[in-house]
């Protein structure tokens, strides 16, 4: 009954009836911060990509009053620019102002190749001046790559990233993990059931099958991962599945939170 009342109060505010902004905020916060009616929490995370679904995702999260975690790299977008260019600053700032969490995905979307015997790391950036070229980096150089995102994000939003990072492709080596940890970032992967499959070809598996798998297998505490747009998959995973995934999980009684609230990544206050 309390949740239904809060939903109705929020709706009343949104359609313009007499309602103080503070009341709307109170209703929304109370509805989505309370876990009393939750069977568990799911942590939605999104990596940058082509950005073709960026606005759709942000709008959908906003409509459901869900906070998610975004991992940022400077990737080429469908607009012909890059996801951390100044043109994207308003998009990121709005998400930051709304309370979402953010981590680094390496500035040039740098894939690790292997650890080297001398303690250095072989990597291959996907973008930037050395795109497609194998590079040999020290742990400090990798740290600087992680921090490049933090610096750009602060320029765009006035805020720092959360101390989180995700290796492109989710691929790690012991040396890479040590480099990120020494730099003050906690690596975040995703749960097996949390793999959206949005990079897989539709000829291999349909959107409907991916949605069913997620709804059947996601459990309390799972981290879900998708992208803000994938060039190759048609039709894209997002328009078909995101709304249905959220609604399906809500019907099961799940709530959503950022990784700031995850027991493995929660920061001391």
Rounded to the nearest 10 degrees, what angle do helices 207-217 and 237-251 cross at?
A: 30
**Is a pLDDT exceeding 50 seen at residue 128?**
yes
Per-residue pLDDT of 188-226, as tens digits, reads: 999 999 999 999 999 999 999 999 999 999 999 999 999
Q: Which ranges in 70-225 belong to alpha helices (H)?
A: 89-97, 139-157, 174-182, 207-217
Give the three-state DSSP class for 220: coil
- Mean pLDDT of the region 90-105: 98
Element (H, E) at 25: helix 21-33
- Whole-number pLDDT of residue 267: 78
Quote the CA–CA distance of 224 and 214 in Å, as a whole number.
Answer: 9
Position 175 confidence tier, pLDDT thresholds 50, 70, 90: very high
Q: Which residues contact 14 (CB under 8 A, 6 or more apart)?
A: 24
Quote the CA–CA distance of 204 and 220 in Å, as a whole number.
Answer: 28
CA distances from residue 208 to 103, 181, 262 in whole angstroms, order as listed? 30, 38, 29
- Whole-number pLDDT of residue 1: 34
**Is a pLDDT exceeding 70 seen at residue 187?**
yes
Express as a percent the part of the chain with pLDDT over 90. 83
Pairing relation of β-strands 254-256 and 40-47? parallel
Rg (CA), the chain: 19
- Whole-number pLDDT of residue 36: 56
DSSP state at residue 221: T
Q: Which residues contact 17 (CB under 8 A, 6 or more apart)?
A: none
Q: Compute, in degrees rounded to 10, the torsion defined by CA atoms 34, 37, 42, 43.
A: -10
**Is a pLDDT exceeding 70 seen at residue 249?**
yes
**Is a pLDDT exceeding 90 seen at residue 230?**
yes
- Whole-number pLDDT of residue 5: 34
**Model-level pTM?**
0.87
Quote the CA–CA distance of 146 and 153 in Å, as a whole number.
Answer: 11
- Whole-number pLDDT of residue 105: 98
**Is a pLDDT exceeding 80 seen at residue 117?**
yes
- Mean pLDDT of the region 228-254: 95
DSSP state at residue 260: G
Mean pLDDT (the chain) is: 89
Higher-pLDDT residue of 172, 20: 172
Chain length of the chain: 269
Position 266 confidence tier, pLDDT thresholds 50, 70, 90: confident
Per-residue pLDDT of 71-95, as tens digits, reads: 999 999 999 999 999 999 999 999 9
Report residue 244 CA to chain centroid gap: 18
Q: Are 247 and 211 in contact (CB under 8 A)?
A: no
- Mean pLDDT of the region 97-120: 98
Report residue 68 CA to chain centroid gap: 6
- Mean pLDDT of the region 163-180: 97
């Amino acid at each position: 009954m309390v949740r239904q009342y809060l939903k109705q109060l929020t709706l009343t505010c949104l359609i313009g009836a007499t309602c103080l902004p503070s009341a709307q905020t109170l209703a929304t916060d109370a509805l989505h911060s309370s876990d009393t009616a939750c069977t568990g929490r799911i942590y939605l995370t999104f990596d940058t990509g082509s950005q073709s679904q960026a606005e759709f995702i942000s709008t959908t999260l906003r409509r459901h009053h869900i906070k998610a975690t975004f991992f940022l790299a400077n990737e080429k977008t469908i607009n012909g620019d890059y996801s951390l260019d100044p043109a994207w600053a308003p998009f990121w700032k709005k998400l930051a102002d709304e309370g979402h969490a953010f981590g680094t995905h390496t500035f040039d979307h740098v894939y690790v190749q292997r650890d080297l015997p001398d303690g250095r790391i072989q990597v291959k950036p996907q973008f930037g001046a050395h795109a497609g070229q194998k590079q040999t980096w020290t742990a400090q150089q990798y740290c600087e790559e992680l921090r490049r995102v933090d610096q750009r994000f602060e320029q765009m939003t006035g805020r720092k990233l959360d101390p989180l990072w995700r290796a492109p492709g989710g691929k790690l080596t012991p040396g890479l993990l040590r480099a990120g940890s020494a730099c003050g970032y906690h690596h975040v992967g995703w749960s097996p059931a949390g793999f959206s499959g949005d990079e897989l070809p539709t000829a291999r598996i349909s959107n409907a099958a991916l949605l069913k798998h997620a709804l059947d297998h996601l459990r309390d505490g799972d981290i879900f991962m998708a992208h803000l747009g994938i060039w190759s998959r048609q039709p894209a995973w997002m328009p078909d599945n995101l709304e249905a995934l959220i609604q399906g999980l809500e019907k099961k009684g799940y709530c959503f939170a950022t990784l700031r609230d995850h027991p493995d990544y929660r920061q001391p206050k």
